[in-house]
Amino acid sequence: MPTLRDDLATLIAAPTVSSAPVTPAAAHLATRLEDAGLRIERFEADEPGKVTLVATAGPAGTDGLLLTGHMDVVPVEGQPWTCEPFRLTEREGRWLGRGTADMKGFLAACLQAVDALPLARLQRELVLVLTHDEEIGCLGAGHLVEAWDPARTLPTACWVGEPTDFRVMRMHAGHVAVHVEVEGRAAHTSRPALGDNAIERAARVIEVVRELAADLRTRVASDLPMDDPTVPLVVARVQGGTAVNVVPDRCTLQLGYRPLPGMPPEAVFDELRERLAHRLGYDAARVHLSLGTVTPALLTPAHGALQQLLQPHAQPGPEVAPFATDGGQLARLGTAPVVFGPGSIDVAHQADEHVAIDALERTVRLLGQVAHARCVAP
């Protein structure tokens, strides 16, 4: 039987950055879970090698426990690693490697906990959802939501094992990308009146965005326990023009904003579209907005069943995660996600990413206790 180190080493050795397939990690996870006795379903995305695994055991449709994590990791290029990032290294009571904290350590702990569970005695359903491309917008979870049979219910107790230093977090902001395409008409710069400068029109769009961003900063959601409970709106990228002697006929903008917990993710997009139509008048017909990646915010009610099980083992701290997770998407399927896991977000995405070995061993025990309480004891 593979040990915790064995499982983690295999997962770390799979370089599942978002530009690459997750199939090496998915193959190991599926094999291990099938060997343990779980049923495996594969939800394939359009892009080859992108798959979300759903593993189940126990009576279907009963309200047991859902464990979830993502298989992808961020790139390592340009970072000053002191060890091989895709080979597990042990140093001073820690395991180092890309994904040890975020979040293959949690996935390895899940495998170990499942091995120890008496699956034949489950009274409620145990579900594992293992996603792809969380790091670039929770794409795998979003694809699963769209492909999921609405007649199938999932356990409401949804444990998102992101690195929180064992703090219970039940809310986070989301992220929405907006694409703006501005039309113009090309002409030689010696005769600019014959053209229609798309970049100049885009500058007017940016001014409207700036005004909306300033307005959003005045709308403080004082009921949310956040350091800055406002919605940031940012112009992140501008691209236009072909040559210095050509009036540009096209300009594109990339915007991003972070909806607060409890806020509809499209609300700011809709308001921006209305403001542009009002401010630009006729010119608004040459400005085209479209939604890009939508990562919903998360707002899980306090004192739910899973939170009550985790709280005795939790460190004190804020209930707001400073990062988005798959929980915002999975909540759309009727779950009540709670973010709680080993390791620190402060070392995630960094060189020499690591997690304490005893923290992962503790996670295996906690997973077993919670799964027993939710799925066996009833």
Residue 57 contacts residue 125 (beta carbons within 8 Å): yes
Asked about 72 being catalytic, the answer comes back as: yes
Check: CB of residue 221 under 8 Å from CB of residue 260.
yes
Q: Is 90 a catalytic residue?
A: no
Q: Which residue has the tokens 């904290």?
A: 101
CA distances, 188 to each of 182, 185, 199 (Å) = 19, 10, 15
Tell me how far apart the terminal alpha carbons of the chain are, to the nearest angstrom.
29
DSSP characters for 317-362? Answer: --SEESS--THHHHGGGT-EEEE--SS-TTTTTSTT-EEEHHHHHH
Output the CA angle 171-71-25, nearest 5 degrees.
Answer: 160
- Residue appearing with tokens 């630009």: 280
Instruction: Return the SS3 of 173.
Output: coil
Instruction: Please give the radius of gyration of the chain, using alpha carbons only, rounded to the nearest integer.
Output: 23
Identified catalytic residue from 7, 115, 133, 134: 134
Can you tell me the distance from the alpha carbon of 106 to that of 85, in angstroms, rounded to the nearest whole number? 18
Phi then psi dihedrals of residue 337, to 5 deg: -70, 145
State the Cα–Cα distance between residues 303 and 295, nearest whole angstrom: 24
Q: Which of 7, 72, 125, 249 is catalytic?
A: 72
Hey, which residues does 196 pair with through a beta bridge? 185
In whole angstroms, how far apart are CA 302 and each of 169, 264, 373?
10, 20, 19
- Candidates 296, 290, 300; CA nearest to 337 is 300
Whether a cis peptide bond, with omega within 30° of 0, leads into 171 is no
Yes or no: say if 213 and 234 are a contact pair by the CB < 8 Å rule.
Answer: yes
Q: Tokens 């690591």 belong to which residue?
A: 354
> Is the CB of residue 14 less than 8 Å from the CB of residue 70?
no
Known catalytic residues? 72, 134
